Structure 1
């Protein structure tokens, strides 16, 4: 049955190569737009993730705190499930950092004494404002801690940005997918209309709607996959051009590329189902 449907699909492609090529190219460009959006969303997510990795709680220590008290506090903080790692920054290291980061104000730090601190780096996925604030509050309860800073306002803005980016990404992704389904449906509809007489004859001799529909569904899958491959190539070429002439970006990994091809097949069959169902009722 599947072999017959494949043969029907190939026969239809040979009968109307221009229409088939037009359908594949149209699908490719619709998926290309979807791929470009996905690439932008991926790079925005990577940028946000890179910034999120800098989320930390910094506990400034009281003067004359013994190293044993520091080690004990660091061991306790390191056991928190939200904490990835803990780092001690001595007064000398803090001064060196300040000088390297603000070299133009080196003279200001010549006689400065900066407090030692404990830097607490949060685990991925546990960097929400509520989680960071809770960890900061627990750390502030240690007797050796004089002050705790974690950029409350900055962490809140970062979390809101990530939430907005995720929401916009899902909304635009669904919109692009819907447009692709409509375009694919239109191309399949042209194929159905071109074979209207043949379909009418098949129904006269007893062919069921499922039998008539099957080649078009397979046709949609094949065109979706071919369009997906072409869209992937165009997206990769755009990625290379941006890297060469503008700035560095990351590309989809193998898993995401496979998801893209499967999405092309799914969109192809979805467009075919919508279009064929409507046209069969009219023939």
Structure 2
């Protein structure tokens, strides 16, 4: 295709938007409403996924070493844990550090434990992080069988429920997003089809005078692209403004470290890119599918 021909297609596609003002408005409105719903749902699901991921990352295994174990025994346990394929990080926490952390975490109530600093009843601990949170249960059971391991704690009973809840949330989110995208494609493409159907005579005439299929398709291809992109602009503005205000209002009020919203930047730019891409793809797809049925005269 020559550059001159491509330029003609660009000009014709833009002029067509103005010539068919009401149909353009209807198509852009359909894209706007649908992408607004898609965008809001994406924002909700991506923030839920971020929170659940932070909770999963916070899961760790605490291996309490028997007080009868010598220093060599402790080091041997640490080396065995490091050799487990699913283990990512291993950190040794001596009982003095454990008591200090206990007193600090309890605040004023921790003062009662200060007399135990000279005769510390706590045990040395290995803090273990796995490569994936789902490996925690498997690794904990393996470590539990080691000699001189007094106990292994990983939130047994709660961790299983957490992983189950996270899996359900993600599966439901994926299903809803896929369903919403298909609904968006159906609604938007049907609206664009109405625009194309209203101009079927124009297509038939172009076909009869010898215009090739590609020559006819290109203006409609570009027109669908403009409709999709134009329809994404308002959702992007509304979602960006609303999310900025929500982020500024909620973030200072959240005190739990793993419950936090995704940062405004680059998150909003990612959402904007997704909406523009979706709008453009759906607009192009709707136009091409509609034009194709009129190319046979």
Q: TM-score range by the shorter chain?
A: 0.7 to 0.9
Counterpart CA distance in 2 for 1:233 and 1:67 is: 61
Give the direction of change, closer, same or farther, for the CA distance of 1:276–1:179 in structure 2 (3 Å limit).
farther
Stretch of structure 1 that moved more, 242-251 or 27-36: 242-251
Counterpart CA distance in 2 for 1:59 and 1:214 is: 66
- In structure 2, what is the equivalent of residue 264 of structure 1? 279
Counterpart CA distance in 2 for 1:31 and 1:245 is: 25
Would you say 1:197 and 2:201 are equivalent positions?
A: yes
- In structure 2, what is the equivalent of residue 114 of structure 1? 122
- Structure 1 counterpart of 2:67, from 59, 63, 79: 63
Would you say 1:127 and 2:141 are equivalent positions?
A: no
Maintained 8 Å contact 1:41/1:169: yes
Report matched runs for 1:11-160 at 5 Å. Answer: 11-103=15-107, 105-106=109-110, 109=113, 113-123=121-131, 126-128=132-134, 131-160=135-164
Give the direction of change, closer, same or farther, for the CA distance of 1:152–1:270 in structure 2 (3 Å limit).
farther
User: Does the residue aligned with 1:249 lie in a helix, a strand or coil?
Assistant: coil
Counterpart CA distance in 2 for 1:28 and 1:276 is: 22
Maintained 8 Å contact 1:60/1:117: yes
- Give how far 1:101 is off: 2.8
Give the direction of change, closer, same or farther, for the CA distance of 1:206–1:282 in structure 2 (3 Å limit).
closer
Maintained 8 Å contact 1:6/1:218: yes
Size of the aligned set, in residue pairs, is 278
Per-residue CA distance 1:80-139 (angstroms, 9 max, x = gap): 33222112222232223233333464366455722222111112xx221xx222211221
Per-residue CA distance 1:202-245 (angstroms, 9 max, x = gap): 23324455543432222112222232344323221121121133
Per-residue CA distance 1:255-277 (angstroms, 9 max, x = gap): 56434432222222222234444
Stretch of structure 1 that moved more, 191-200 or 205-214: 205-214
Give the direction of change, closer, same or farther, for the CA distance of 1:107–1:246 in structure 2 (3 Å limit).
closer
- In structure 1, what is the equivalent of residue 257 of structure 2? none
Maintained 8 Å contact 2:47/2:261: yes
Maintained 8 Å contact 1:242/1:249: no
- Give how far 1:57 is off: 1.2
Counterpart CA distance in 2 for 1:215 and 1:2 is: 9
RMSD, aligned α-carbons: 2.8
Stretch of structure 1 that moved more, 46-55 or 11-20: 11-20
- Structure 1 runs not aligned, ≥5 long: none
Would you say 1:249 and 2:249 are equivalent positions?
A: no
- In structure 1, what is the equivalent of residue 191 of structure 2? 187
